[in-house]
Amino acid sequence: MEAWADAFPNCADLEQYAATIMKNPIKSGCSVVIAIRSSGLCSDDFLDTIKLSNTKNWFQAPGSPITTVLEHELKHNANTRWDSTYGMMDCLIELCLLVNYFLGLPNHCELKKLKLSNWQWIVLGNKHKILDVPHVVHHLVSSEKQPHLGWLVPYFKLFMTGWEEL
């Protein structure tokens, strides 16, 4: 917690952030994705909600332009691929406005308990930023047909400086 002390001028915020980390918001986000994708009807309803929200311009913060939600499904977290967690979080964060709205709809009252708090979204976003560094480096290294050790040194430096800049 001491490493984060400068990021939170208010001690109560630091304690809330730490408590949220302990509740595992990535697992909570994964539960949301599994619940929405658990049935074809629920998944179709989610996509219909995206289309309707874009048609009716539902997501607009005061003084901001209207947010158009991309029409795609939430991605699963697959245990067989290390970066699937990043992909699941990326999609979930991109659709955060719609996800919280959808989970609060009366016809999905059984999903309301899965709604993520503001602190959970903040922690999820921070963990996404942390995973963004290895994700970028992984894709750069993967683009090389035959990577050599000498080529990997700059990628390793990119990896280290990326995390140091966080």
pLDDT, residue 79, reads 63
Assess if residue 160 is contained within a domain: no
Assess if residue 39 is contained within a domain: yes
More confident residue, 4 or 139: 139
Provide the domain count of the chain: 1
Mean local confidence (pLDDT), 24-49: 92
In the predicted structure, residue 125 carries a pLDDT above the cut 60? yes
- DSSP letter for 105, please: S
Assess if residue 78 is contained within a domain: yes
**Stated pTM of the model:** 0.77
Q: Residues near 69 by Cβ (< 8 Å), separated by ≥ 6?
A: 50, 53, 54, 59, 95, 97, 98
Cα-to-chain-centroid distance, residue 118: 13
Residues in the chain: 166
Mean local confidence (pLDDT), 118-145: 83
Assess if residue 41 is contained within a domain: yes
**Distance (Å, rounded) from C-alpha 142 to C-alpha 133?**
14
Q: Which domain holds residue 52?
A: 2-126
pLDDT, residue 65, reads 76
pLDDT mean across residues, the chain = 82
Assess if residue 133 is contained within a domain: no
| pLDDT per residue as tens digits for the range 77-121 | 666 566 788 889 999 998 888 899 999 999 888 999 999 999 999
| pLDDT per residue as tens digits for the range 2-32 | 555 555 656 678 788 888 889 999 999 999 9
Nearest C-alpha neighbor of 116 from the set 28, 27, 15, 50:
28
Could you give the C-alpha distances from 154 to 129, 135, 137, 142, in angstroms and in order? 20, 15, 10, 14
Task: Quickly list DSSP for 109-134.
Answer: GGGGGGPPPHHHHHHHHHHHHHHHHH
Assess if residue 17 is contained within a domain: yes
| pLDDT per residue as tens digits for the range 62-77 | 677 777 787 888 887 6
